[in-house]
Amino acid sequence: MYKEPPPGQRFIPNFIIYRVLGQPRICINEWTLRITGNVERELVYTYEDLLKMDNITVRSDFHRVTCWSVRGVEWSSIPLRRLVDEAGVKLGVKWAYIISLDGYTTIVPFEDFISEKSILALKINGKILSPEQGFPARIIIPHLYGWKSAKWVKEIVFMDKYVDGYWETLGYHWRGNAYLNERFKEIRE
C-alpha cells in the first residue's frame, strides 16, 4: 500500500459499482473457471475446488481510471501464480486474456498477472464477494486500474499475442498501471 494516491487519483470511502454489460445471473453449481490457451494442461475448477485451495490475503488500494480510489481493501484467495503453475503455462506466453460471464473481456501482461499480490479473489474484507462485486471470482492485480479487475470470471486464456478486450478496444491502455498513469494507449501516427 502507498500513502499517496497515484497521479490524478482521489480517495473516496466506498466503491461505486460498475457493470458495463449488466449483472449476469450465476448458478454456482454450474459455474466453472477454465484455464486455457498456451498451457501444458487445460484446467477446470469448480467453486468448491477453489475454496479448498490455500489462500492468501492482500491489502491494497483500488484505483478506477475515472480518477477515484478506495484505500485499504482486503482481498483474499488464490495467488494467480498458483493457477499458472498448475496449468503449466508455456514459455513465450506474454498475455493473460480474461473472459467473464457477462461477455466482458480484458487483457493483462503475463508479468503483471504473476506479480506477488495478484490474486483470484473470492472474498473482499473477509466476506464472500457479493453478486455485484463479482461473485464467485474476480481478478485482483492491485497496481493496475480497476477495469483490469474482471468480475464474474469464467475463463483465463494464456496467449503469446496481444488482443484488445472490452475497454482496450475503446482506446484504454494495454497494461493500465495506475502508478505510471497508464490510462490510454498512445496515439501512433
List of residues contacting Mo ion (CB under 5 A): 147
Q: With contacts defined by CB under 6 A, how many residues of the chain interact with ligand MTE?
A: 18
- Give the list of residues 6+ apart from residue 2 with CB closer than 8 angstroms, or none: 61, 179
DSSP class per residue in 49-111: HHHHS--EEEEEEEE-TTSEEEEEEEEEEEEHHHHHHHHTBPTT--EEEEEETTS-EEEEEHH
C-beta of 7 vs 92, nearer to ligand MTE = 7
Question: Where does this chain touch ligand MTE (CB under 6 A) — which range of 41-49, 72-80, 97-105, 113-121?
Answer: 97-105
Q: Which residue shows C-alpha cell 479448498? A: 52
- By CB under 6 A, name the one of 9, 38, 100, 118 that touches ligand MTE: 100
Q: Per CB under 6 A, does 15 bind ligand MTE?
A: yes
Instruction: Tell me the β-bridge partners of 97.
Output: 107, 157
Residue 15 or 110: which CB sits closer to ligand MTE?
Answer: 15
- Between 47 and 147, whose beta carbon lies closer to Mo ion? 147
Judged by beta carbon, residue 38 or residue 100, the one nearer Mo ion is 100
Question: Binds 172, which of ligand MTE, Mo ion, none (CB < 5 to 8 A, cut-off by type)?
Answer: none
Tell me: does residue 173 bind ligand MTE (CB under 6 A): no
Residues in 124-163 at the binding interface with ligand MTE, rule: CB under 6 A: 133, 146-147, 149-152
Answer whether 144's CB lies under 8 Å from 178's CB: yes
Nearest Cα to 76, choosing from 147, 21, 138?
A: 138
Residue 168: helix, strand or coil by DSSP?
A: helix
* Separation CA 51–CA 125 (nearest Å): 16
Residue 109 CA to residue 54 CA, distance in Å, equals 24
Find cell 482481498 and name the residue.
75
CB of 143 to ligand MTE, least distance (A): 15
Least gap, CB of 152 to Mo ion (angstroms): 15
What string marks each residue from 51 to 70 as x (binds ligand MTE by CB under 6 A) or -? -------------x------
Residues at the contact surface with ligand MTE, assessed by CB under 6 A: 15-21, 64, 100, 102, 104, 133, 146-147, 149-152
